[in-house]
């Protein structure tokens, strides 16, 4: 078949590579070999031709004049951004030379790869890179920044990342979007709910911020951050009390419902109201709606798990559908992540056997600490598919670590990101439209094929190409480090020990482009929990040091600042991606701090006033948006803004790098801050004048 790259003019199929649950099927319009327009693929069974504005404007990013064309070496101080072009040959030789010396002097563990899912393609995000770093024997990275706390919490109840099929949600009569800003972060989930609403379905949104998603709900329930376990337990209290539970389902398919019934007696509506800020009558109303309307579906968002108690919150909420017997119903249940259905042959892709020695693992959310304080120092960092100087918590500390003169840093990216500015060597990366890869959604149930649709930009190279080059330069001659991208895909989709994985080979995947997981209907009958059932009571949790029953555990007292700070993502960026592209930044205008009118009045802050937000970790300045969108005591910002808008927008300079209760997860939303009118505030980070009250 002709390569899609060679089609100079026409429309070619593709898939969105961004870290977004929707994983849209795309149609790419080409003129003279360049992308001129990106549309949705109307034949895609879930995304059905609609896509977000971010990717409609993707051309602006792909052909942004700031995009990197050649490898670079740093010629100014770290962080300043002065670089000179060099050849690939020089770049690879420099890296391999430094690493060979480091390995002989301090061992391979002195090298740390740092990556996340800037590109969700499996080959490029967890393929040849894993093989290479396994062979190298480098330190390992715990990739916990996004969804690990909730994934572990959900798995205690449900055995793994398995939930309701979005394609069945036309039947759903009650949607609860819980801690998800779906209007921005899962647009097709919203479209499905809107369609169902035309047939009488109701949409409830439970959030700490009445944002674009809350505003479209039939009922918006504001809640205090980190208290959602208590609300879920309060609902359970009423469901048992008012006999709205399905005892037959509980008896057949769950463990521990009798213990749970006793346990939730402690969570009476009055107590729950005091914890959550949700009025008693609303707790009753919510529980009764949940008890009476079927099928119901809870969309469990990522916002919940970015808290000290995030794993337990997700664990608790995921018990609810069993109580009213939702799982057997079409369109009933819950979705946190559906990635389990498409689990592929990771061992064949990543080759863990290439690692000959056990090596240390470093939690990615504590990069600053690892760079500054590790007993056995990290001497070299290789960053790809991530921008830790902006996205990692306690980002000031991360930047301090990146400034270390004795740290040899390489960054592989499409742009000179904030992180890349600290690099010694920068390598230009291809975009996903220039690569071959396969993709699996973590919301719908399709696996996708991506073939390159345009030629590599400038001298840029894909992740797997870079690791093949590095392997050669290091003198590694294993065949696994030479395999082509096609071979990698074939290995990953062959001999898959997952009963839901579709019967595919590379040929079928290329021909059909997206294929659905199979036999997913009755997954709730045979779960991978220790009992095989839904575990309302979990012995495993007890063994792991948690309460066996779902429990509300208050947030850690971060410091004595008065406001809980929830800095989430925004509509027009994807994490920090797009924040450096003019078109997207313009659409987003500027960052805002949402605060309650009562708090603002006390502090003399008006709508639009520039406010200073600070704590012992850092300081930011942004404009206040005063109103009723958040409860008193809570402030919310949106977006991970690029440094090009000034150095006062780095919200992660304020966020804690503590580890959540489960999965080593991040606690971006459990930090506390002080807020004052900008001109009134004295002092800043590390100065003695900082007032903490
Ligand atoms: N447009 C856009 N889409 C994206 C992204 C993006 O940056 N921009 N990022 C992608 C990625 S990587 C991810 S992980 C997802 C994240 O997308 P979501 O799953 O939507 O998660 P968040 O936006 O982090 O938080 C969701 C909501 O949780 C609320 N929240 C925070 N704390 C609490 C709490 O204690 N209780 C309750 N009930 N609500 C709370 C926040 O106010 C927010 O509205 O989106 C993906 N899609
Ligand atoms: N305050 C706060 N901080 C957060 C969050 C939050 O809600 N609030 N959300 C957190 C979450 S959920 C996540 S997932 C993380 C995400 O954080 P990151 O994974 O760092 O995501 P991005 O900021 O999108 O950066 C991805 C980078 O990968 C690059 N890239 C894209 N494709 C490729 C490729 O094929 N090869 C290479 N080499 N590079 C590529 C992009 O250009 C971009 O610079 O952020 C976390 N940080
Ligand atoms: S970012 Fe999400 S909604 Fe937008 S095109 Fe990609 S998968 Fe679809
Ligand atoms: Mo994420």
In three-state form (DSSP H/G/I as H, E/B as E, the rest C), the secondary structure along 19-30 is CCCCCCEEEEEE
Question: DSSP string covering 104-121, please?
Answer: HHH-GGGEEEEE--SS--
Full-model pTM: 0.97
Mean pLDDT, rounded, for 376-391:
98
CA distance 262 to 66: 61
Q: So what's the pLDDT on residue 645?
A: 77
Residue 498 token pair: 């997952």
Mean pLDDT, rounded, for 100-110:
98
Residue 112 token pair: 């740390």
Distance from CA of residue 518 to its chain's centroid? 26
Please choose from 413, 460, 636, 651 the residue to mutate so as to test ligand 2's pocket, defined by most ligand atoms within 8 A of CB.
Answer: 413
Bigger pLDDT: 443 or 642? 443
Every domain of the chain with CATH number 2.40.40.20 lies at 563-692
Residue located via tokens 């064309």: 69
Every domain of the chain with CATH number 3.40.50.740 lies at 72-142+344-516
CA distance 311 to 149: 5
Q: So what's the pLDDT on residue 689?
A: 35
| The CATH number of domain 164-335+522-543, selected from 3.40.228.10, 3.40.190.10, 3.40.50.300, 3.30.1280.10 | 3.40.228.10
CA distance 551 to 4: 53
Selection from 241, 311, 247 nearest residue 269 by Cα: 241
> Mind spelling out the 3-state secondary structure of 183-207?
HHHCHHHHHHHHHHHHCCCEEEEEE
Q: So what's the pLDDT on residue 643?
A: 86
Biggest alpha carbon–alpha carbon distance for the chain: 72
Asked if 219 and 204 count as a contact pair (C-beta separation under 8 A), the reply is yes
Q: Is the pLDDT confidence value at 684 over 60? A: no
Asked if 301 and 404 count as a contact pair (C-beta separation under 8 A), the reply is no
Please choose from 24, 149, 150, 180 the residue to mutate so as to test ligand 1's pocket, defined by most ligand atoms within 8 A of CB.
Answer: 180
Q: What is the mean pLDDT of the chain?
A: 96
What's the half-sphere exposure (Cβ side, CA atoms, 13 Å) at 145?
A: 24
Give the architecture (CATH level 2) of 72-142+344-516: 3-Layer(aba) Sandwich (3.40)
Sign of the four-CA dihedral 594, 597, 600, 605? positive
Residue located via tokens 């690569």: 435
Selection from 471, 463, 454 nearest residue 100 by Cα: 471
- Is the CB of 569 within 6 Å of ligand 2? yes
Please choose from 17, 20, 57, 191 the residue to mutate so as to test ligand 3's pocket, defined by most ligand atoms within 8 A of CB.
Answer: 20
Q: Is the pLDDT confidence value at 691 over 70? A: no
CA distance 623 to 589: 12
* Residue 679 pLDDT class (50, 70, 90 cuts): confident
205 alpha carbon, closest ligand: 1
Q: So what's the pLDDT on residue 1?
A: 61
CA distance 111 to 434: 29
Q: How far is the centre of ligand 1, averaged over its atoms, from the C-alpha of 511 (Å)? A: 35
Q: So what's the pLDDT on residue 642?
A: 87
Q: So what's the pLDDT on residue 429?
A: 98
Residue 484 CB contacts under 8 Å (≥ 6 apart), including other chains: none
Asked if 80 and 454 count as a contact pair (C-beta separation under 8 A), the reply is no
Asked if 29 and 35 count as a contact pair (C-beta separation under 8 A), the reply is yes
**Strand 111-115 to 380-384 pairing:** parallel
Selection from 451, 429, 454, 425 nearest residue 438 by Cα: 451
Please choose from 387, 388, 390, 433 the residue to mutate so as to test ligand 2's pocket, defined by most ligand atoms within 8 A of CB.
Answer: 387
Give the alpha-carbon dihedral of 455, 459, 465, 467, to 10 degrees: -160
Q: How far is the centre of ligand 2, averaged over its atoms, from the C-alpha of 238 (Å)? A: 41
Q: Is the pLDDT confidence value at 619 over 90? A: yes
Residue 239 token pair: 């469901």
Helix axes 148-158, 310-317, angle to 10 degrees: 40
3-state secondary structure of 594: strand
595-614 per-position pLDDT tens digit:
999 999 999 999 999 999 99
Selection from 260, 346, 227 nearest residue 541 by Cα: 260
482-487 long-range contacts, Cβ below 8 Å, gap at least 24? 483/128, 485/123, 485/435, 485/436, 485/437, 486/436
23-70 per-position pLDDT tens digit:
999 999 999 999 999 999 999 999 999 999 999 999 999 999 999 999
CA distance 152 to 318: 11
Minimum-distance ligand 3 atom for the alpha carbon of 55? 5
120 alpha carbon, closest ligand: 2
Residue 165 token pair: 């099929």
Helix axes 310-317, 228-241, angle to 10 degrees: 20
Minimum-distance ligand 2 atom for the alpha carbon of 387? 20
Q: Is the pLDDT confidence value at 448 over 80? A: yes
CATH class label, 563-692: mainly beta
Q: Among 256-265, 287-296, 342-351, 646-655, which is the least confidently predicted range?
A: 646-655
Classify residue 554 by its DSSP letter: P
Selection from 420, 453, 693, 464 nearest residue 576 by Cα: 420
**Strand 72-74 to 83-85 pairing:** antiparallel
Residue 531 CB contacts under 8 Å (≥ 6 apart), including other chains: 255
CA distance 41 to 44: 6
Q: What does the buried/exposed string (b/e) look like for 155-180 if buried means 16 or more CB atoms within 10 Å of the residue's CB?
A: bbbbbbbbbbbbebbeebbbbbbbbb
**Residue 77 CB neighbour total at 10 angstroms:** 12
Selection from 475, 121, 90, 162 nearest residue 327 by Cα: 162
Q: Is the pLDDT confidence value at 245 over 90? A: yes
CA distance 479 to 351: 11
The phi and psi torsions of 47 (rounded to 5 degrees) equal -90, -15
For the chain, report the end-to-end CA distance as a whole number of angstroms: 67
Residue located via tokens 């960052």: 591
Classify residue 529 by its DSSP letter: S
Q: Whose CA is nearest to atom 1 of ligand 1?
A: 571
* Residue 644 pLDDT class (50, 70, 90 cuts): confident
Q: Is the pLDDT confidence value at 688 over 70? A: no
Residue 13 token pair: 């199929």
184-205 per-position pLDDT tens digit:
999 999 999 999 999 999 999 9
CA distance 327 to 323: 10
- Is the CB of 668 within 6 Å of ligand 2? yes
Q: How far is the centre of ligand 2, averaged over its atoms, from the C-alpha of 141 (Å)? A: 15
3-state secondary structure of 355: coil
- Is the CB of 568 within 6 Å of ligand 2? yes
Classify residue 339 by its DSSP letter: G
CA distance 502 to 490: 14
| 4-62: CATH topology | N-terminal domain of TfIIb (2.20.25)
Question: DSSP string covering 442-476, please?
Answer: SSS-EEEEE---SPPSTT-B-HHHHHHHHHHHHT-
Q: So what's the pLDDT on residue 693?
A: 29
Q: So what's the pLDDT on residue 680?
A: 64
Residues with CB under 6 A from ligand 1: 19-20, 146, 178-181, 184-185, 206-209, 211, 223, 225-226, 228, 301-304, 307, 566, 568-571, 573-575, 636, 669
Q: Is the pLDDT confidence value at 512 over 90? A: yes
CA distance 684 to 615: 8
Every domain of the chain with CATH number 3.40.228.10 lies at 164-335+522-543
């Amino acid at each position: 078949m002709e390569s899609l790259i060679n089609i100079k003019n026409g429309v070619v199929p593709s898939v969105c590579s961004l870290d977004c649950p929707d994983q849209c099927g795309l149609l790419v319009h080409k003129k003279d070999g360049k992308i001129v327009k990106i549309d949705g693929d109307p034949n895609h069974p879930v995304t059905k031709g609609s896509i977000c504005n971010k990717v409609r404007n993707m051309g602006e990013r792909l052909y942004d004049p700031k995009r990197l064309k050649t490898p670079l070496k740093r010629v100014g101080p770290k962080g300043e951004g002065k670089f000179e072009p060099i050849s690939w040959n020089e770049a690879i030789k420099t890296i391999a030379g430094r690493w060979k010396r480091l390995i002989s002097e301090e061992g391979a563990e002195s090298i740390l790869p740092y990556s996340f899912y800037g590109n969700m393609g499996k080959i490029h995000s967890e393929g040849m890179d894993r093989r290479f770093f396994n062979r190298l024997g480098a330190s390992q990275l715990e990739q916990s920044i996004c969804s690990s706390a909730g994934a572990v919490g959900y798995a205690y109840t449900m055995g793994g990342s398995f939930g309701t099929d979005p394609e069945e949600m036309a039947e759903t009569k009650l949607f609860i979007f819980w801690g998800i800003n779906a209007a921005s972060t899962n647009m097709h989930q919203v479209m499905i709910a809107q369609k169902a609403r035309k047939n009488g379905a109701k949409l409830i949104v439970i959030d700490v911020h009445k944002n674009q998603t809350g505003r479209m709900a039939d009922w918006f329930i504001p809640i205090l951050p980190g208290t959602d376990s208590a609300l879920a337990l309060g609902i359970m209290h009423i469901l048992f009390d008012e006999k709205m539970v399905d005892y037959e389902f509980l008896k057949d398919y769950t463990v521990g419902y009798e213990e749970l019934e006793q346990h939730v007696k402690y969570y009476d509506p009055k107590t729950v109201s005091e914890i959550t800020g949700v009025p008693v009558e609303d707790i009753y109303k919510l529980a009764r709606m949940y008890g009476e309307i079927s099928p119901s579906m809870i969309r469990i968002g990522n916002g919940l798990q970015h808290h000290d108690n995030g794993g337990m919150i997700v664990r608790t909420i995921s018990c609810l559908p069993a109580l009213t017997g939702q799982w057997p119903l079409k369109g009933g249940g819950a979705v946190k992540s559906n990635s389990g259905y498409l689990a592929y042959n990771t061992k064949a892709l990543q080759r863990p056997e290439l690692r000959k020695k056990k090596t240390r693992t470093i939690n990615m959310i504590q990069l600053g600490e690892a760079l500054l304080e590790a007993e056995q120092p990290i001497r070299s960092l290789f960053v790809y598919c991530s921008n830790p100087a902006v996205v990692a918590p306690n980002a000031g500390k991360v930047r301090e670590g990146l400034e270390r003169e004795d740290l040899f840093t390489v960054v592989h990216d499409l742009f000179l990101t904030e992180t890349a500015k600290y690099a010694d060597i920068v390598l230009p990366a291809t975009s996903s439209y220039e690569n071959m890869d396969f993709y699996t959604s973590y919301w719908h149930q399709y696996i996708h094929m991506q073939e390159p649709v345009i030629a590599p930009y400038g001298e840029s190279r894909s992740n797997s190409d870079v690791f093949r080059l590095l392997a050669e330069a290091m003198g590694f001659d294993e065949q696994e480090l030479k395999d082509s991208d096609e071979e990698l895909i074939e290995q990953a989709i062959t001999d898959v020990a997952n009963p839901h994985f579709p019967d595919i080979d590379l040929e079928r995947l290329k021909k059909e482009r997206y294929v659905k997981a199979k036999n997913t209907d009755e997954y709730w009958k045979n779960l991978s929990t220790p009992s095989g059932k839904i575990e309302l009571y979990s012995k495993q949790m007890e063994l792991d040091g948690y309460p066996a029953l779902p429990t509300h555990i208050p947030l850690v007292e971060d410091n004595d600042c008065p406001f809980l700070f929830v800095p989430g993502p925004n509509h027009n960026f994807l994490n920090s991606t797009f924040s450096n592209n003019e078109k997207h930044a313009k659409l987003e205008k500027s960052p805002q701090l949402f605060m309650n009118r009562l708090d603002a009045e006390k502090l003399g802050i008006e709508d639009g006033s520039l406010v200073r937000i600070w704590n012992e970790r850092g300081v930011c300045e942004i404009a206040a948006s005063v109103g009723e969108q958040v409860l008193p005591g809570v402030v919310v910002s949106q977006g991970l803004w690029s440094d090009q808008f000034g150095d006062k927008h780095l919200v992660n300079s304020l966020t804690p790098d503590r580890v959540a209760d489960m999965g080593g997860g991040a606690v971006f939303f459990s930090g506390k801050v002080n807020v004052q009118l900008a001109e009134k505030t004295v002092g800043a980070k590390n100065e003695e004048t900082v007032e903490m009250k």
